[in-house]
Amino acid sequence: MVRTALMLVALAIGLAGQAARADSYIEAPRVAAALEQGRAAELGIGIRKNLLLAVALYCDAGTMGSPEGFFRVGRVLATAPRALRNPALANAYLALAARLGNHEALRYYDPQVANAILGEECGADVDGAEVDHFDLDGYLARQSPAKQKIALLIRHMARQHGIDSRLALAIAMVESNLDPGAVSPQNAQGVMQLIPATQERFGVTRPFDPEHNVRGALAYLKWLSKRFAGDWRLIAAAYNSGEGTVDRYAGIPPYPETQQYVRRVLRFAGYSQRDRSSLGGQDLVRRTERRQAGLLAVASAVERPQ
């Protein structure tokens, strides 16, 4: 068993040498946001210290492609208090992070312990109580004055647009962690990460100006709110994957990225674990089907000859 573990370490070292260095890897805005928010939960920065929440957020970063995310999951599981510590599972995530190019992971790898077999979903094998929702107000209170100003701007403009400020803030947190200069690999820009097509659609001419960016995003959210009858889960899913995709699947699309995105938005907006875990349930599908049936009925009545 020990020999197997040592062989895995050697394999990790070999693959890590071929991979891009982790310290030169530029994280996408959503990934950087999850890492920073996970750090706040791990260390208790502005919010109550919660290692389970930290693992969940680091898992989000890892599954979005971040070696650093998987490394932090492994590190927490390797060093946590006894109730949460899991050396075998920690080794599995640390080996994964090392194979992806994170050299620091090998410092925490324990060659005396065999690797656990990872499940399909990162963090699913971590035992513990329900992960609390994210204390958004506490977190924002520890942010820079510039980010606090953007948060106040979002709250104020959300009221003007008739959008719940918790939803608007949650999306901004997930998209960029309130970074007005954020640019994604897909060229989504600014605080609310608007792609050029959405900017043009809602009249955003200065995407890196927080006020212009937020105004355009809120106009889009208001449009989505009308289209999806105010259902936050469908609104968040459409913001991530497009309204046409949500319509096509009559609910939240079966894409892991989109389902993770919706869970993160609901967590930051204050939804419970039960609410988040039911996203994509049949109740949601039925509500969407009823809405679409109503639209079809209206269309039929308009087209029917008099």
Active site amino acids: 175
Q: Hey, what are 157's tokens?
A: 């403009």
Say how far apart CA 68 and CA 91 lie, in whole Å: 14
189 phi/psi in degrees, rounded to 5 = -130, 145
Amino acid at position 30, single letter: R
The dihedral built from the CA positions of residue 220, 266, 148 and 163, taken in this order, carries a sign that is: positive
Q: Hey, what are 202's tokens?
A: 């809602």
Nearest-CA neighbor of 74 among 51, 44, 50, 45? Answer: 51
| Angle, vertex CA 227, rays to CA 270 and CA 300, nearest 5 | 150
Q: Hey, what are 199's tokens?
A: 């900017």
194 phi/psi in degrees, rounded to 5 = -90, 130
Instruction: State the alpha helices, DSSP H only, in the chain.
Output: 2-18, 29-43, 51-63, 67-79, 87-99, 136-141, 145-161, 165-176, 196-201, 210-227, 232-241, 243-249, 256-269, 273-277, 282-303
